Structure 1
Amino acid sequence: MIDDSAGHGHADGSGRPLPLPGSEELQTLRLPARHEKLYNFLYERRSNPPTMREIRAFVAAEEGEAPAQTDRRVRDLRGLFHIKTVRNRRDHCYLLAGLKGSELTGIRKPISIRLRAQILSPQRCAQCGKTPLDHGVLLAVDHKVPFKWGGSDDANNLQPLCEECNAGKKDYYATYVQYADEIRAAANRDEPLRRIGELLKAFNGGWVPSDLLGAVASMMQYQEDWQKRLRELRALDWVVNSKRQTDPTTGRSFAYYRVETWQPWPGGGIAAEIKRRERLKRIK
């Protein structure tokens, strides 16, 4: 049982109350029927927030919906409501805490059929390599950088994952939920090198998976050589280490990076400062 004053007070920090299920205020938000049913479930469970497993079970029993669709509806509701991720024993729970401000954007539009077909066209999971024809897996469109962390619906931030890899990634990324604000801030930086550096700093010396680094580096514009940008941090006297780790289930090897020491960003442009230091080294 979790006692959270925001849930019992029906308001977030800005003082906007949660609309009652079936109320006129809720109707003005024009939630699709399935989203409204999910909202009602979360509202009734504010004093005992459900886990994602419980949410999926509820929706499956009511609508027969696949887990990936349910996860997307939870993300959709976060465009309108504050839904906190809290800990209860060993599980992550989802607490409906309040209504967002007057700048509401409404329910996020689903990915278009055309874009979905484009992302799934390789017909192969980007992580384990399994295919629907050879292995009978179901593929889903995955956000490399989660939407709630500032990830976009652009093609550069999307990839095909099988349901098993997609679920495993969500569980893995859930371990970094406390860094969500920092990751979102890093993804919104103008320069790719600054995005990479801020993401490394956000993990407080912890190991950052290379796929997340690459995706954040490419948030504003695709960066084919983001590893070169990463190496350039050393020119600014940053100490960045790397390691490779093999997934015992797939046999695939993945790269991870962490920053041991970092320095303040230069006052001018980062690229200009790196070139200046490289010229000084050549002169010496």
Structure 2
Amino acid sequence: MANSDEPLPQPDSPELAAFLPRTDHQQLYAYLFERRNDPPSMREIRTYMLDLLGEAPSQTDRRVRELYDQFKVSKFRRGKDTLYRLDGWADNRKGNPRTSFNRRTRAQVLAPQRCAQCGRTPLDHNVVLVVDHKIPREWGGSDNIENLQPLCEECNSGKKDFYATYDEYADEIRAASSLLEPHARIGELLKAFRGDWVPSELIGVVASIQTHQEDWQKRTRELRHLDWVIMSKRRKDPRTGRHITWYRAAHWEPWPDGSIRAEIERRKRDGDSSVAD
């Protein structure tokens, strides 16, 4: 098995085919390989794959993420664009491409025979159920049974499209997801968007990555006790047509030493009545 210091395989080489047996992955790799000195943006990658294979942006985004199992693809910002540079073998690369879940895990997840999102069933609605990661692996989600759920193919596809919208923030989301305190996970997510609006659905997902947070909205508002300026508004979700709440951090302060929750509670006790919980 190659280590992270070994040269990258040449496109169309037998070595590459051993680790990327699918042609579409090889074609994407070849594009990034040729652009190592001029890293492309996701927009350029999508355009290339659209012209080559006619595939949807969400499919291309997924293929880029799948390369991470074998190769190190660094992301960095230049102006308003996030660029993707093929830098070498992944540090903790896998010996084989992604594999399916074993039969026992798959059967356990699909046992309810009902889509966890829309509630449709194979028998009553003729849908096909698939195993879905509640928290995407690219954002720090695990293969543990607690992070798996049954979704119909339609809901699964829509969810992937939704998450693909935020792929440029994947590194920041993964970093936020690793933090132990929910206030920190929420705050770092809001900071990652650099003052832009963040949909409540995404905040709820990241807030609950370590443990489920039914009151994540309260945790978001509580950041104001730390002198953060948290704004919210309701507007239509372009994907569903539903009106949802969006949040953004217009200003933030450094995190306190020690427990964030303890500091918030201390400020509440000390008479910080200017912030409504």
**Normalization by structure 1: what TM-score?**
0.67
How far apart, CA to CA, are the structure 2 residues paired with 1:283 and 1:238? 15
- Report the alpha carbon displacement of residue 19 of structure 1 after superposing the two structures with TM: 4.6
Match of 1:139 in 2: 129
Counterpart check, 1:204 vs 2:194? yes
1:173 Cα deviation after fit:
2.8
* Offset from partner CA, 1:69-121 (integer Å, 9 cap, x none): x99776444211245799xxxxxx9x893542454233445334333334434
Deviation at 1:198, TM superposition (A): 0.3
Unaligned runs of 5+ in 2: 35-43, 77-82
Q: What's the C-alpha RMSD, in Å, of the aligned pairs?
A: 4.1
Q: 2:152 aligns with which of 152, 158, 162?
A: 162
Once the 2 structures are TM-superposed, how far is the Cα of residue 186 of structure 1 from its aligned partner? Answer: 0.7
**Distance of 1:84 and 1:268 partners within structure 2:** 32
- Distance of aligned partners of 1:144 and 1:108 in 2 relative to their CA distance in 1, 3 Å threshold: same
1:17 aligns to what?
8
Q: CA deviation at 1:283?
A: 10
How many angstroms apart in 2 are the aligned matches of 1:248 and 1:219? 25
Q: CA deviation at 1:273?
A: 0.7
SS in 1 for 2:131: strand
The amino acid of 1:97's aligned partner reads L
Indicate yes or no: 2:269 matched with 1:279: yes
Question: What are the within-5 Å matches in structure 2 for residues 243-258 of structure 1?
Answer: 243-245=233-235, 253-258=243-248
Q: SS of 1:281's equivalent?
A: coil
**Structure 1 pair 136–101 and aligned structure 2 pair: CA distance change class (3 A):** closer
Question: 1:97 maps to what in 2?
Answer: 86
Q: Which sits farther off after the overlay, 241-250 or 143-152?
A: 241-250
Q: What pairs up with 1:80-91 in 2 under 5 angstroms?
A: 80-82=70-72
Report if aligned partners of 1:205, 1:258 keep a CA contact under 8 Å in 2: yes
Equivalent position of 1:171 in the other structure: 161
* Overall identity of the aligned pairs, in %: 51
Structure 1 counterpart of 2:254: 264
Alignment of 1:68-83 (within 5 A): 75-82=65-72
Q: Which moved more, 1:194-203 or 1:239-248?
A: 239-248
Q: In structure 2, how many angstroms separate the alpha carbons of the residues matched to 1:219 and 1:275?
A: 23
- 1:206 Cα shift? 2.3
Deviates more, 1:206-215 or 1:181-190: 206-215
Counterpart Cα distance in 1 of 2:220 and 2:258: 19
Output the CA distance in 2 between the equivalents of 1:85 and 1:155: 30
Name the counterpart of 1:42: 28
Report deviation, 1:196: 1.0
Aligned to 1:201, what secondary structure does the other structure show?
A: helix
Report the number of matched residues: 250
Q: Over residues 193-251 of structure 1, what are the superposed CA-to-partner deviations in whole Å (9 max), with x where a residue is unaligned?
A: 10111011111222323332222222233334333322321222223233444558866
Identify which range, 224-233 or 76-85, moves more after superposition.
76-85
- State TM-score, norm by structure 2: 0.69
AA aligned to 1:161 is: L
Q: Which letter maps to 1:51?
A: M
Query: C-alpha distance in 1, partners of 2:153/2:224?
Result: 38
Of the three residues 187, 190, 206, the one matched with 2:177 is 187
Change (3 A) 1:160 1:85: farther
Which residue in 2 is equivalent to 1:51? Answer: 49
Deviations 1:18-75, CA, capped at 9 Å, x for gaps: 255453x447xx64xxx41334443455569653796697xxxxxxxxx99x997764
8 A contact 2:225–2:272 mirrored in 1: no
- For the 8 Å contact 1:156–1:218, the answer to whether it is kept is no
Aligned-pair distance for 1:180? 1.7
SS of residue matched to 2:267: helix
Structure 1 residue identity aligned to 2:93: L
